[in-house]
């Protein structure tokens, strides 16, 4: 008697715990598209392809770079005296 009662209790608990959700066809298709790992992988591949395309276009365009540096002559150097003849 006891094992039968436990089986009945387990089945009742399982049925009670389940939520019955009624979905329309559109909601079912949307959930399947959202949760499908193959489609998620395809979306990631599409995003990566767009990034690769932007990188390819950026590598095709000309590049421009600029640098600037300046040094200040020391006051007791020979070059400083050529610049400032009054000292």
End-to-end CA distance of the chain: 116
84 confidence band (pLDDT: 50, 70, 90): low
**pLDDT for position 82:** 59
Report the 10 Å Cβ neighbour count for 81: 13
DSSP per residue, 65-79: ----------TTSHH
Looking up tokens 């608990």 gives 13
Residue-wise pLDDT for 14-66, tens only, equals 666 556 678 889 998 888 888 899 999 999 999 999 999 999 999 888 888 99
- Asked if residue 76 has pLDDT above 90, the reply is no
């Amino acid at each position: 008697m006891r094992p039968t009662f436990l089986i009945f209790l387990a089945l009742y608990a399982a049925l009670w715990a389940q939520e019955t959700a009624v979905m329309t066809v559109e909601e079912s298709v949307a959930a399947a598209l959202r949760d499908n790992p193959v489609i998620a992988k395809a979306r990631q591949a599409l995003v990566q392809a767009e990034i690769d395309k932007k990188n390819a276009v950026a590598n095709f365009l000309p590049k421009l770079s600029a640098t600037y540096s300046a040094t200040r002559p020391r006051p007791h150097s020979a070059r400083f005296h050529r610049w400032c003849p009054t000292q």
